[in-house]
């Protein structure tokens, strides 16, 4: 029975992953992500049910659009698989089973899913467009508040004074960011990255946040070194997707924490 549950959780994760690939494409274009039917971005043909089965459709169609035969990026099934694995690791880490899925543990699992969605959206949009979407950032703040409420009233993990300090910081940074938008200032990427770090802190606490930042700096150092070697004497785009590196690093830290809990 437990095996069937985790298979279903993996399948649910791949479905979420499929939705996230759609969302990361449409959100920067200000397109509807709920009601508008999925379509091929090359030929604009609407996709049928059998064109959108996570992972399986990609391999059945041999990585090509059924209608225009355009090549489909492998990142689509890859994201679906990674999302499915993330769901399973999360479920194992917090001890989800048929008896606990409808308890407080189930609420913790749901909050974890919302956070995974947040990380995937931030990273996906940043990699493609080098921007941190404000709507997704607000979504991250909202789920942080939900997580704080859950943690405070059920596990007492958050000190009320610390919560107030973090919320004040987020409020100030958000107001500054909004004011900069009104002034048509486009260089608020760094400010949004700081808000992202605070959201990460709400879910992984200080130790997880510190490890995330250290790993991010390591990734950036390696990336800059590779760019310098491969582009010696040439100009290259040195604008790094720092937000996506933060999300990837935090995912690694988060998964490591949960795997250690499984092992313990």
Q: What is the pLDDT of residue 208?
A: 87
Residues whose CB falls within 8 Å of the CB of residue 257, separated by 6 or more in sequence, listed in order: 93, 204, 208
**Residue 83 belongs to some domain of the structure:** yes
**Residue 111 belongs to some domain of the structure:** no
**Residue 146 belongs to some domain of the structure:** yes
**Measured between alpha carbons, how far is 90 from 62 in angstroms, rounded to an integer?**
31
Same domain, yes or no: 98 and 134: no
**Residue 82 belongs to some domain of the structure:** yes
Q: What is the pLDDT of residue 231?
A: 72
Same domain, yes or no: 78 and 189: no
Same domain, yes or no: 97 and 206: no
Nearest 10 degrees: Cα torsion 176, 178, 183, 187: 70
Same domain, yes or no: 150 and 262: yes
Q: 67, 40 in Cβ contact below 8 A?
A: yes
Same domain, yes or no: 43 and 165: no
Range of the domain at 257: 130-264
**Measured between alpha carbons, how far is 254 from 10 in angstroms, rounded to an integer?**
18
**Measured between alpha carbons, how far is 79 from 16 in angstroms, rounded to an integer?**
10
Hey, what are 172's tokens? 């100030």
Same domain, yes or no: 138 and 22: no
**Residue 123 belongs to some domain of the structure:** no
Question: How far is the first Cα of the chain from the last one, in angstroms, to the nearest whole number?
Answer: 23
In total, how many domains does the chain have?
2
Q: What is the pLDDT of residue 213?
A: 92
Query: What is the pLDDT tens value at each position of the chain, 264 positions in all?
Result: 788 999 999 999 999 999 999 999 899 888 888 888 888 888 888 888 888 889 999 998 888 888 888 898 888 899 999 999 999 999 988 888 888 887 888 888 999 999 999 999 999 999 888 888 889 998 998 998 888 888 777 766 556 666 677 677 777 776 766 665 555 545 578 888 888 988 898 888 788 889 999 999 999 898 888 877 877 656 555 678 899 999 999 999 988 887 776 655
Same domain, yes or no: 28 and 137: no
Same domain, yes or no: 19 and 145: no
């Amino acid at each position: 029975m437990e095996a069937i549950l985790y298979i279903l959780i993996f399948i649910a994760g791949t479905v979420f992953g499929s939705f996230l690939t759609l969302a990361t494409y449409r959100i920067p274009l200000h397109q509807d992500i709920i009601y508008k039917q999925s379509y091929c971005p090359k030929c604009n043909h609407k996709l049928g049910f059998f064109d959108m089965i996570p992972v399986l459709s990609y391999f059945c169609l041999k990585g090509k659009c059924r209608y225009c035969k355009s090549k489909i990026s492998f990142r689509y099934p890859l994201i679906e698989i990674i999302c499915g694995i993330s769901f399973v690791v999360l479920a194992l880490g917090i001890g989800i089973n048929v008896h606990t899925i409808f308890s407080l543990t189930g609420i913790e699992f749901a909050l974890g899913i919302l956070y995974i969605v947040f990380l995937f959206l931030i990273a996906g949009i940043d990699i493609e467009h080098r921007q941190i979407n404000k709507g997704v950032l607000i979504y991250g703040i909202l789920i942080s508040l939900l997580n704080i409420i859950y943690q405070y009233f059920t596990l007492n993990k958050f000190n009320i004074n610390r919560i107030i300090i973090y919320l004040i910081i987020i409020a100030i940074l958000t107001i500054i960011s909004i004011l900069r938008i009104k002034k048509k200032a486009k260089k608020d990427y760094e400010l949004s990255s700081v808000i992202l770090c605070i959201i990460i802190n709400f879910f992984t606490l200080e130790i997880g946040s510190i490890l995330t930042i250290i790993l991010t700096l390591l990734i950036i150092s390696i990336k800059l070194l590779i760019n310098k070697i491969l582009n010696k004497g040439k100009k290259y785009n040195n604008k790094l997707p720092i937000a996506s590196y933060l999300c990837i690093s935090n995912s690694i830290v988060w998964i490591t924490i949960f795997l250690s809990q499984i092992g313990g």
